[in-house]
């Protein structure tokens, strides 16, 4: 059933020019990925951030959060909001003081697990990075398209909806 | 010798270019051949600049490059209004060609006699001066003109139509919601949306990209600019003045309106235009502000009072049978494809509150955001990633809307408010809900929970009784209401002011009650009807 819809999408994409009079040629130019440059965090902070986000949403059969440059997404969020930037830098500094960066992978998992189940400040800090990682990752091609299978915001000639007999 | 020519006196001046103003101008110019001057507070939004087909990750890239999509909503910093916590009212305005129809939710529901007869039946505030039979021919005409998709599955609270275009299919989650509701005896129907699923009147059909909220790049859903104003301009009968922020309607010595004072939005230059008839369609709150600042038409004292829209909330969750399935392209026509019409008048059971509620279901299915639910899942790592992926295609959402009664203390006022950049008092909005709405909310929550439990959904935790901030529905009504009694209403049944008979008010402010429904289709129908009446009055010389 889904393959039928996939085919529809492919066919509709070919037909898109007739559906839309718009010129979307600017998309390619405007959407070429920017070179990734940290604008807020220092290199050591970026490295630590990359480790944290990859722990939260790691590489599996699909890319992980670090593969998807989620640490740069967080950097951008901090770059564009001084208040948020100051808080996240403070939180990152707290994590650094727990000797997180130099810990083994297993030890890092143990630390994160502890914070995720704690209360108070450790829990708040953990949830803050988790929230940012989720926001960041599932807005990327890696997270939304490759991991979740989202393949929309495209051109379809028709929308049949659910054709699963078992859902009727 | 210098001879000063007399200023032009326009046949009709229309204020506002959205659904109300657009329909009025189009009908007068295209169908009646009447010359119209329109004053619009902004300029045209360019479809080719909409970010309709920008993927989420491309969006980020563009933002990082310093690009931005067209700003459609008015920044309250430019035109502030007052609203105090804890009863904050979020006022969404669009100052620009087409107004809110550029980004509206497109839900196009007919009112029924359950709505029009409600106040007369229960005695709360004044009765509507019209019934369904008065407006039904105009619903027919509007639907034929703009294109509305939907089913033939009408109910007593949601009249049907012979003119609906074919509806899009239901998404998987919507089928589960429908089945669960129907097990409880609650009927779910095809949503009615002002989206063309087939080419119509030269407008493109929808291509199901689901990004309607960013503006449609092919104009497949109704917007006032492409569907009404452009054709009207082509007749040569409609002239539009951009960036005209209207301050006052001016009265002549004969008690009739003689013109409009406005300010250029960017230069601040003050201008006056003269007209024989004025039609106000600047949206509920701005029209009310103009009338109050103009001090006209308010011998009844009702203008500004009885502000009403709807209360709403959200219940979300996951359908067990859909967990772990492959994500579908669930964009469709944007928003839900099903609708739950009001049913509480049908079962014969007496309620402890007046009026009723319906429900929408937008966001059901696999969409471009996982939303906040993913953050509520425990843990991290592979397990979290797996849990998110498993739930993603199974997401379902309900958004019940309940009517808020018209209360005198819910109001828009300008007395004692600060002045805007043009020296004109801004609006103050005071709003709260009452016991009636709280009782209704109980049943609304019961309904939502029952439907979710009926399909064994995993319900995302919510706070029972919580509601969206006031104004979130963006359906302001009632502050210049119509009625038969001039002592208790500002307009007659043709949207004409009782006090100043050459002024018409055609936007949501003219509604006597809010109902639980989205108002735009009714605004379009009322505007068409009012402008037919105006044209007839002009033809007979009565106006």
Instruction: List pLDDT tens digits, range B190-214.
Output: 999 999 999 999 999 999 999 999 9
Quick one: average pLDDT of B492-519?
98
Pick the closest to residue B310 from B513, B94, B449, B100 (CA basis): B513
Mutate to test the interface with B, among A77, A162, A163, A168 (most CBs of B within 10 A): A162
Please tell me which of the candidates A116, A130, A167 has its beta carbon nearest to residue B175: A167
| pLDDT of A88 | 98
pLDDT of residue A7: 37
Both ends of chain A: CA-CA distance in Å? Answer: 14
**Contact list, B378 vs chain A (CB under 8 Å):** 116
> For all residues of chain A together, what is the average pLDDT?
85
Whether the pLDDT of residue A23 is over 50: the answer is: no
pLDDT at A33: 57
Shortest CB distance from A112 goes to which of B59, B218, B380? B380
Q: Quick one: pLDDT band at residue A168, thresholds 50, 70, 90? A: confident
Please give the interface size between A and B, counted as residue pairs whose CB atoms are below 8 Å apart.
168
Q: Is A71 helix (H, G, I), strand (E, B) or coil?
A: helix
- B115 and B345 Cβ atoms separated by less than 8 Å: no
- pLDDT tens digits along B246-284: 999 999 999 999 999 999 999 999 999 999 999 999 999
Collapsing DSSP to helix, strand or coil, B89 comes out as: strand
Encode pLDDT of A47-57 as tens digits.
999 999 999 99
pLDDT of residue A36: 85
Pairing between β-strand B315-318 and β-strand B458-459 as defined by DSSP bridges: antiparallel
* Other residues' Cβ atoms within 10 Å of the Cβ of residue B166: 12
Helical (H) or strand (E) element with B509: none
User: If you measure CA to CA, which chain B residue comes closest to A77?
Assistant: B64
Compare all CA atoms of chain A with the CA of B388 and give the residue at the minimum distance: A148
Residue B485 falls in which region: left (phi positive, over 0), alpha (psi -120 to 50) or beta: beta
Test A34 with B174 for CB contact under 8 angstroms: no
- What is the C-alpha separation between B58 and B210, in angstroms, rounded? 16
CA separation for the pair B323, A56 (Å, rounded): 22
Which of A30-34, A78-82, B423-427 comes out lowest in average pLDDT? A30-34
How many whole angstroms separate alpha carbon B49 and alpha carbon B52?
Answer: 9
Distance, CA of A145 to CA of B325 (rounded, Å)? 15
How far apart, in whole angstroms, are the C-alpha atoms of residue B282 and residue B14?
9
User: Which pLDDT does position B308 carry in this prediction?
Assistant: 97
Q: Which helix (H) or strand (E) holds A133?
A: helix A120-137
Instruction: Note the pLDDT of residue A26.
Output: 41
The mean pLDDT value for A67-89 works out to 97
Question: Which residue in B60, B64, B176 is closest to A139 by CB distance?
Answer: B60
d(CA A157, CA B94): 31
- State the virtual CA torsion across B433, B436, B442, B445 in degrees, nearest 10: -60
pLDDT score for B49: 94
Average pLDDT, chain B: 97
Q: Which of A129-133, A164-168, B293-297, B534-538 shows the lowest per-residue confidence on average (mean pLDDT)?
A: A164-168
Percent of chain B with pLDDT over 90: 97
Reported as a pLDDT band with limits 50, 70 and 90, residue B450 is: very high
- DSSP conformational letter for A150: -
* A44/chain B closest Cα distance in angstroms: 22
Residues of chain A positioned with their CB less than 8 A from the CB of B330: 152
pLDDT band for A9, please (50, 70, 90 cuts): very low
**Distances from the Cα of B349 to the Cαs of A54, B185, B445, in angstroms?**
56, 14, 18
Q: Which residue out of B329, B338, B371, B373 would a mutagenesis test of the A interface target, given it has the greatest number of A Cβ atoms within 10 Å?
A: B329
Partners of residue A131 in chain B, C-beta under 8 Å: 375
> Residue A14 pLDDT > 80, yes or no?
no
- Per-residue pLDDT for B334 more than 90? yes
Min Cα separation B314/chain A (Å): 21
d(CA A128, CA A136): 12
> Among A9-18, A157-166, B102-111, B180-189, which is the least confidently predicted range?
A9-18
Is the model's pLDDT at B152 over the cut of 70?
yes
**For residue range B7-51, what is the model confidence (pLDDT) as tens digits?**
999 999 999 999 999 999 999 999 999 999 999 999 999 999 999
C-alpha A138/C-alpha A132 separation (Å) is 10
Question: Is the predicted pLDDT of residue A24 greater than 70, yes or no?
Answer: no
CB count within 10 Å of CB B418 equals 10
Question: Is the Cα dihedral B123, B128, B132, B133 positive or negative?
Answer: positive
Asked if B57's CB is within 8 angstroms of A76's CB, the reply is: no
d(CA B425, CA A126): 48
Q: Is the pLDDT of residue A61 over 70?
A: yes
Candidate from A112, A155, A162 with C-beta closest to B209: A155
pTM reported for the whole predicted model: 0.93
SS3 of residue A78 by DSSP: helix
Alpha-helical (H) ranges within B315-473 are: 373-376, 382-391, 435-454
In chain B, which residues have their Cβ closer than 8 Å to the Cβ of A57? 380-381, 384-385
Confidence of residue B371 (pLDDT cuts 50, 70, 90): confident
Q: Report the relative pairing of strands B9-15 and B270-280 from DSSP bridges.
A: parallel
Q: Chain centroid to CA B395: how far?
A: 26
pLDDT for the residue numbered B6: 85
Nearest to A72 by CA among A86, A54, A90: A54
Confidence of residue A34 (pLDDT cuts 50, 70, 90): low
Q: At what angle do helices A70-79 and B56-64 cross, to 10 degrees?
A: 40
Question: Residue B53: pLDDT above 90?
Answer: yes
Share of chain B above pLDDT 70, in %: 99
**Are A147 and B389 an interchain contact pair (Cβ–Cβ within 8 Å)?**
yes
Q: What is the mean pLDDT of residues B54-82?
A: 95
Q: Say if residue B531 is preceded by a cis peptide, omega within 30 of 0.
A: no
Rounded CA-CA distance B307/B295 in Å is 18
What number is the average pLDDT over the span B490-516? 98
């Amino acid at each position: 059933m889904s393959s039928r819809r996939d085919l529809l999408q492919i066919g509709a994409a070919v037909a898109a020019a007739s559906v839309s009079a718009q010129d979307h040629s600017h998309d390619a130019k405007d959407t070429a990925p920017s070179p990734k440059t940290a604008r807020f965090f220092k290199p050591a902070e970026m490295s630590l951030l990359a480790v944290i986000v990859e722990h939260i949403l790691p590489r599996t059969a699909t890319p992980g959060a670090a593969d998807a440059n989620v640490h740069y997404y967080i950097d951008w969020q901090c770059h564009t909001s001084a208040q948020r930037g100051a808080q996240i830098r403070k939180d990152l500094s707290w994590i650094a003081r727990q000797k997180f960066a130099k810990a083994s992978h297993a030890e890092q998992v143990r630390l994160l697990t502890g914070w995720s189940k704690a209360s108070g400040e450790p829990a708040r800090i953990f949830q803050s990075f988790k929230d940012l990682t989720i926001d960041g990752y599932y807005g990327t091609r890696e997270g939304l398209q490759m991991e979740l299978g989202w393949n929309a915001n495209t051109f379809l000639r028709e929308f049949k909806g659910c054709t699963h007999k078992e859902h009727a | 010798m210098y001879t000063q020519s007399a200023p032009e006196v326009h046949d009709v001046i229309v204020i506002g270019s959205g659904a109300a103003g657009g329909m009025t101008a189009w009908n007068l110019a295209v169908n009646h051949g009447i010359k119209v001057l329109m004053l619009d507070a902004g300029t045209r939004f360019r479809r080719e600049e909409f970010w309709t087909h920008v993927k989420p990750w491309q969006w980020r890239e563009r933002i990082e490059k310093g690009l931005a999509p067209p700003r459609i909503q008015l920044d309250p910093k430019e035109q502030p209004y007052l609203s105090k916590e804890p009863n904050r009212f979020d006022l969404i305005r669009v100052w620009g060609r087409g107004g809110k129809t550029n980004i509206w939710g497109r839900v196009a529901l007919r009112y029924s006699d359950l709505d029009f007869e409600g106040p007369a039946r229960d005695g709360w505030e004044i009765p509507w001066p019209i019934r369904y039979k008065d407006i039904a021919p105009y619903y027919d005409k509007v639907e034929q003109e703009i294109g509305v998709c939907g089913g033939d599955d009408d109910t007593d609270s949601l009249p049907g139509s012979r003119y609906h275009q074919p509806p899009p299919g239901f998404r998987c989650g919507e089928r589960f919601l429908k089945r669960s509701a129907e097990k409880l005896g609650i009927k779910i129907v095809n949503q009615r949306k002002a989206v063309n699923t087939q080419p119509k009147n030269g407008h493109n059909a929808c291509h199901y990209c689901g990004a309607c909220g960013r503006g449609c790049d092919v104009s497949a859903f109704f917007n006032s600019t492409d569907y009404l104003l452009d054709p009207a301009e082509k007749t040569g009968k409609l002239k539009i003045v951009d960036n005209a922020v209207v301050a006052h309607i001016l009265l002549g010595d004969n008690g009739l309106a003689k013109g409009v004072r406005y300010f250029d939005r960017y230069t601040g230059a003050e201008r006056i235009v003269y007209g024989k008839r004025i039609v106000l369609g600047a949206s509920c709150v701005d029209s009310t502000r103009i009338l109050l600042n103009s001090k006209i038409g308010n011998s009844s004292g009702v203008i500004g009072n009885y502000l009403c829209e709807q209360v709403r909330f959200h219940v979300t969750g996951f359908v067990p049978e859909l967990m772990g399935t492959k994500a579908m392209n669930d964009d469709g026509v944007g928003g839900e494809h099903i609708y739950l019409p009001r049913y509480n008048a049908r079962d014969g059971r007496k309620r402890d509150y007046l009026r009723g509620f319906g429900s929408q279901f937008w966001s059901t299915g696999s969409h471009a955001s996982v939303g906040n639910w993913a953050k509520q899942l425990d843990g991290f790592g592979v397990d979290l990633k797996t849990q998110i992926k498993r739930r993603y295609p199974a997401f379902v959402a309900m958004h019940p809307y309940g009517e808020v009664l018209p209360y005198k203390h819910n109001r828009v006022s300008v007395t004692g408010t600060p002045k805007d950049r043009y020296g004109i008092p801004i609006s103050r909005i005071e709003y709260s809900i009452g016991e009636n709405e709280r009782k209704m909310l109980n049943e609304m929550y019961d309904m939502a929970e029952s439907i979710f439990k009926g399909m064994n959904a995993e319900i995302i935790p919510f706070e029972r009784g919580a509601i969206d901030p006031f104004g979130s529905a963006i359906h302001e009504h009632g502050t210049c209401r119509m009625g038969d009694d001039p002592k208790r209403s500002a307009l007659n049944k043709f949207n004409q002011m009782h006090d100043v008979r050459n002024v018409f008010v055609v936007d949501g402010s003219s509604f006597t009650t809010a109902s639980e429904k989205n108002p735009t289709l009714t605004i379009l129908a009322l505007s068409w009807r009012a402008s037919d009446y105006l044209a007839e009055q002009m033809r007979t010389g009565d106006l």
